[in-house]
Amino acid sequence: MPKKLNKIFIVGFMCSGKTTIGRLLAERLNLKFKDSDAEIEEIYRKSPSDIIKKQGLGYFRKIEEKTVKELIKDQNIVIAMGGGIMASKKWPEYLRNKGLSVYLSCAAHELKKRLLKAKNARPLIGGGNSKKVGERIKKLLAKRRRYYRKADLKLSVTKLSPVKAVKKIKKLINSYAKEI
CATH code at position 87: 3.40.50.300
The predicted pLDDT at position 5 comes to: 79
The predicted pLDDT at position 107 comes to: 94
* Neighbouring-strand partners of residue 152: none
Positions in the chain short of pLDDT 70: 1-3, 118-129, 180
The predicted pLDDT at position 125 comes to: 61
The predicted pLDDT at position 128 comes to: 62
Measure the CA–CA gap between 85 and 27, rounded to whole angstroms: 24
The predicted pLDDT at position 86 comes to: 83
Residue 37 covered by a domain: yes
Q: What's the domain range around 54?
A: 3-160
Residue 34 covered by a domain: yes
* Neighbouring-strand partners of residue 180: none
Measure the CA–CA gap between 138 and 9, rounded to whole angstroms: 23
Give the count of domains, the chain.
Answer: 1
Q: Position 154: which residue type? A: K
